[in-house]
């Protein structure tokens, strides 16, 4: 069991403050239990409540493999929860424990793409035959982990993916939302899902199954890379009923900044979702940086440099910032991070 100070220290960069209400008095704090096993969250449910957290954001509940943190964001199947951090059974137990303490469960959901398995096979059937064979070898176990559908065959095929092109121009909205996220060195990238009727139905079945398990919030991973039609076709009023939804749309600032104008503003205008408040984060970094001015933090929303409080999910660090080399320049020093939390 961790003490309050130990929990705060060990989780410092794992925590996101989420302003879900229309005023500071209605703010809630979400514990981002990044890469925590579901069993650990279950065991610490009472402590999480006592520490004042209203909600917990948990690792993507889906089928994935590999111990690396980024492997959780490479889905192999939506129909079961099974990865090194837990399975459907442990997710259900965790959810029940949190709800028993009056703490809400947010699921990190990955709807933009599936896992890069090009090194193992050439087809785009998900899950692949190796995993289907695993399902068949222990049907009682896997049927117990099943969220929806049947596990006797793949649920996605080549017809459910966009072109195998890597994004090379991140200012091009079409590329960003229709081509693949790729690494360097010849990486073929993450197969990008299209919003055809079948894919939308499967993703809706998945989200409904998570709601049945007690999920009351969704963080949409890589929302920046999804078209608004895909987002809205999946997240209908029925799907959103009883849950809070917010998207990950990374920008370098607020109104007037190119990424904000191309991606975050259209997302906010085209949905009723919340979003990470990257505009405010940019203002905090500028204000606390060398030569910065606290004037930047006097009502930044008045000039488009912070999201409306009813839509904003504020933070001082996300899981990408310390773990992804492309974002490490955004790490605040410990003193600035404390000041940012206080603000």
Q: CA–CA separation, 66 vs 69, rounded Å?
A: 8
pLDDT tops 50 at residue 247: yes
Q: CA–CA separation, 192 vs 113, rounded Å?
A: 4
Per the document, the length of the chain is: 343
pLDDT attached to residue 4? 36
Tokens 């099943």 sit on residue:
146
Q: What is the pLDDT of residues 194-229, one digit of tens each?
A: 999 999 999 999 999 999 999 999 999 999 999 999
pLDDT attached to residue 79? 98
Structure tokens that stand for 82 in this block = 């099974």
Q: What CATH number is given to the structural domain containing 308?
A: 3.20.20.80
Tell me the pLDDT band of 26, cut-offs 50, 70 and 90: low
What letter does residue 69 receive in the DSSP assignment? G
Structure tokens that stand for 92 in this block = 């259900």
Tell me the pLDDT band of 184, cut-offs 50, 70 and 90: confident
Q: Is 200 inside any structural domain?
A: yes
Q: Is 140 inside any structural domain?
A: no
Q: Is 153 inside any structural domain?
A: no
Whole-number CA gyration radius for the chain: 20
pLDDT tops 60 at residue 279: yes
Q: Is 188 inside any structural domain?
A: no
Q: Is 232 inside any structural domain?
A: yes
Q: Which residues of 213-226 are buried (b: 16+ CB within 10 A; e: fewer)?
A: bbbbbbbbbbbbbb
| Tally of structural domains, the chain | 1
Q: Is 47 inside any structural domain?
A: yes
The answer to whether 248 is a known catalytic residue is yes
- Among the listed residues 77, 160, 192, 221, the single catalytic one is 221
Query: DSSP string spanning 231-246?
Result: HHHHS-HHHHTT-EEE
Q: Is 251 inside any structural domain?
A: yes
Tell me the pLDDT band of 263, cut-offs 50, 70 and 90: very high
Residues β-bridged to residue 186: none
- Among the listed residues 77, 248, 259, 320, the single catalytic one is 248
The pTM of the full predicted model, rounded to 2 decimals, is 0.92
Q: CA–CA separation, 139 vs 151, rounded Å?
A: 9
Question: Which among 143, 132, 154, 128 is positioned nearest to 80, based on CA atoms?
Answer: 143
Q: Is 128 inside any structural domain?
A: no
Domain residue limits at 88: 4-112+193-342
Q: What's the mean per-residue pLDDT of the chain?
A: 93
Beta strands in the chain (DSSP E): 15-18, 28-32, 55-58, 82-83, 86-87, 104-109, 215-220, 244-247, 274-276, 312-313
pLDDT tops 60 at residue 116: yes
């Amino acid at each position: 069991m961790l003490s309050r100070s130990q929990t705060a220290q060990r989780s410092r960069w794992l925590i996101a403050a989420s302003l879900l209400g229309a005023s500071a008095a209605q703010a809630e704090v979400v514990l981002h239990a990044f890469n925590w096993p579901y069993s650990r969250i279950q065991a610490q449910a009472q402590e999480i409540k006592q520490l004042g957290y209203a909600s917990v954001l948990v690792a993507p509940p889906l089928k994935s493999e590999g111990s690396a943190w980024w492997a959780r964001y490479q889905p192999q199947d939506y129909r079961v929860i099974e990865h090194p951090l837990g399975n459907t059974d442990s997710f259900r137990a965790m959810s029940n424990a949190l709800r028993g303490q009056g703490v809400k469960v947010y699921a990190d959901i990955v709807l933009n793409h599936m896992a890069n398995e090009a090194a193992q096979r050439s087809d785009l059937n998900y899950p692949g035959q190796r995993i289907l064979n695993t399902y068949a070898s222990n049907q009682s176990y896997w049927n117990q982990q099943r969220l929806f559908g049947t596990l006797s065959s793949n649920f996605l095929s080549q017809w459910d993916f966009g072109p195998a092109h890597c994004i090379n121009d991140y200012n091009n909205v079409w590329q960003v939302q229709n081509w693949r996220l790729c690494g360097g060195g010849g990486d073929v990238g993450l197969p990008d899902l299209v919003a055809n009727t079948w894919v939308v139905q499967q993703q809706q079945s998945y989200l409904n199954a998570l709601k049945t398990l007690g999920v009351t919030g969704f963080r949409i991973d890589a929302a920046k890379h999804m078209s608004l039609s895909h987002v809205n076709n999946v997240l209908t009023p029925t799907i959103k009923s009883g849950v809070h939804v917010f998207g990950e749309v990374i920008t370098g600032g607020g109104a007037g900044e190119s990424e904000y104008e191309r991606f975050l503003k259209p997302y906010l205008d085209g949905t009723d979702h919340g979003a990470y408040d990257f505009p405010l984060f940019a203002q905090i970094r500028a204000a606390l940086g060398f030569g910065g001015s606290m004037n930047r933090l006097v009502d930044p929303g008045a000039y488009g440099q912070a999201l409306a409080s009813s839509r904003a999910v504020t933070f001082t660090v996300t899981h990408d910032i310390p773990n992804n080399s492309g974002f490490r320049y955004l790490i605040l020093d410990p003193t600035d991070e404390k000041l940012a939390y206080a603000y």
